Amino acid sequence: MIDRMALAAALAGVLTFGGPVQDSSAADPPAAAWLQADPADSLYRAARQALDRRDYTHAAELFARVPARFPQSAYAGDAYYWNAFALYRIGGTSQLHAALDALEAQRGSHPRAATRGDAQALERRIEGELARRGDQDAAIRVARAAEAAVPPVPPVPPAPPSVPAAPAVSAAPAAHGGSRAAGDDRCASDEDDTKLAALSALQQMDDARARPILRRVLLRRDAASVCLRRKAAFLIAQESADGAEAILLDAARNDPDREVREQAVFWLSQVGTDKAVGALDSIVRSSKDEALRERAIFALSQQAGSRAQQALRRYAEGPDQSPELRAKAIFWIGQSGGPENAAFLRALFGRVTDDALGKKVLFSIAQGGGAENARFLLSVARDGRQPLELRKQALFWAGQANAPIADLTALYTALTDRGLREQLLFVYSQRDEPAAVDRLLDIARHDPDRELRQKALYWLGQSADPRAAKALQDIIEEP
């Protein structure tokens, strides 16, 4: 039943990974120091001894010193890898990111290091772990890596939806032209500097005296006052008295300068009152400027109160809104988290008729994490009434959302579609639990579908679990 050529390729892949990361007792130690005349020889020996003792913190520190202090050392290339390996074994999120940095440094400065093949496999494991912890960039890289895999062709995991960028808004404008946009020379004159300085001085006055002046500035529409209006929008937002929301809303709706409008929307999000939420809500409802509406959606997502979250849900659900606006509302709801938002997204999935929006809802559900969200994603994967691509998406994100491995391994027999089963094989390959390797081995040995057996062998070949190499070798050596 086993395809020997596929098995050989899989075995070659898994044996390439010299340092299995699942079981520290099985990790191959770095090669013994071999160049006594090398200036890094004693340091490399000490690092290797720390790794042998499983003192990963000390080992990571010592391996990092090798290329830092002795960049020309013959040990420098491999030291990057073992530094990353030790950091991965420590396991904190910051250590995982530092491990990726070390592997990238090795790739750039020592592309022919003996451990480069091992480094690529380790990098895949780290990316998968970061993705499971909710790192969106890592999830995207995991998806892209799977798409780039060589034959046998692996299933293509769903690419995460494009992440809306938080609108870039200038910091608080400085007194001397600090709010000037790139290439905007309207704030460059000495006269403008004097006026901006005078405007800044209003911050020293009480609100009742300063507000009428600021309001008059924001009501101007001439090109010469653009820089003053940008500054005034910021100053209005710093006031503690009522009425700032109405002034900023008027600027967001009516000012002829785009930057003033965008600044007004941003500072509305910083006011943090129910009136500010209402103002932002009205911009989304009534503005003809789609970019400004998207900024208002982002601004609503930055508000902590329930009213802002309710507004976001209304736009996510509203069939009268553009798909682009709904998608952004869905994304920011997922980023806001909380059980109420999670429940809303699960209910919303059943009401969405656009598959593209459905994929974005599944992504946002996965970002929320938690057992209930994982169960929901698995239920979508099982639901034969759903489009196949949505079921594949749900499977992928269930794996990333830490759905119980027992549920995932049991799901294989419940799914009859080959495409779904291929997706599930990939999901197993991204999990660290021994049960995932066991399931891949069982499929590689016993599944009646030859192509699925080959794909199971392929993913076993990518596994860092030391049992995968042993099992594949046992299969090859069977009489």
> Using one digit for the tens of pLDDT, what is the confidence trace for 290-314?
888 888 888 888 777 788 888 989 9
Rg (CA), the chain: 28
C-beta atoms surrounding 122 within 10 Å:
25
206 with 86, same domain?
no
Average pLDDT of the chain is 78
In order of 36, 121, 209, 438, the CA distances from 28 in angstroms are 22, 14, 73, 22
109 with 228, same domain?
no
Residue 211 covered by a domain: yes
Better-scored residue on pLDDT, 233 or 370: 370
56 with 133, same domain?
yes
Pairwise CA distance, residues 468 & 167, whole Å: 46
Mean pLDDT on 383-391? 92
Enclosing domain of residue 194: 165-303
Q: Is 458 exposed, middle or buried (0-12, 13-18, 19+ CB in 10 A)?
A: buried
C-beta atoms surrounding 177 within 10 Å:
18
224 with 291, same domain?
yes
Residue 105 covered by a domain: yes
289 with 172, same domain?
yes
134 with 174, same domain?
no
Contact 294, 167 (CB under 8 A): yes
Pairwise CA distance, residues 396 & 156, whole Å: 10
**pLDDT reading at 406 higher than 90:** yes
Residue 106 covered by a domain: yes
Pairwise CA distance, residues 357 & 406, whole Å: 30
Contact 268, 276 (CB under 8 A): yes
pLDDT tens digits along 39-50: 888 889 899 989
287 with 185, same domain?
yes
58 with 84, same domain?
yes
Better-scored residue on pLDDT, 136 or 52: 52
Angle at the Cα of 157 (from 155 to 161), degrees rounded to 5? 155
- What is the Cα 118 distance to its own chain's centre? 24
Q: How many residues belong to the chain?
A: 479
pLDDT of residue 217: 82
C-beta atoms surrounding 322 within 10 Å:
13
Residue 470 covered by a domain: no
70 with 200, same domain?
no
Total domains in the chain come to: 2
In order of 326, 376, 466, the CA distances from 371 in angstroms are 26, 9, 29
pLDDT of residue 319: 79
Pairwise CA distance, residues 171 & 179, whole Å: 8
Last residue of a domain, one of 147, 173, 199: 147
Residue 81 covered by a domain: yes
Last residue of a domain, one of 113, 147, 181: 147
27 with 121, same domain?
yes
Residue 194 covered by a domain: yes
Pairwise CA distance, residues 204 & 183, whole Å: 31
- The percentage of the chain sitting over the pLDDT mark of 70, rounded to a whole number, equals 77
190 with 259, same domain?
yes
pLDDT tens digits along 92-127: 999 999 999 999 999 999 988 888 878 887 888 898
pLDDT of residue 374: 93
CATH number for the domain harbouring residue 292: 1.25.10.10
Residue 432 covered by a domain: no
CATH number for the domain harbouring residue 90: 1.25.40.10
Pairwise CA distance, residues 124 & 115, whole Å: 14
Residue 54 covered by a domain: yes
pLDDT tens digits along 188-226: 555 556 676 776 676 566 666 777 888 788 788 888 788
pLDDT of residue 387: 93
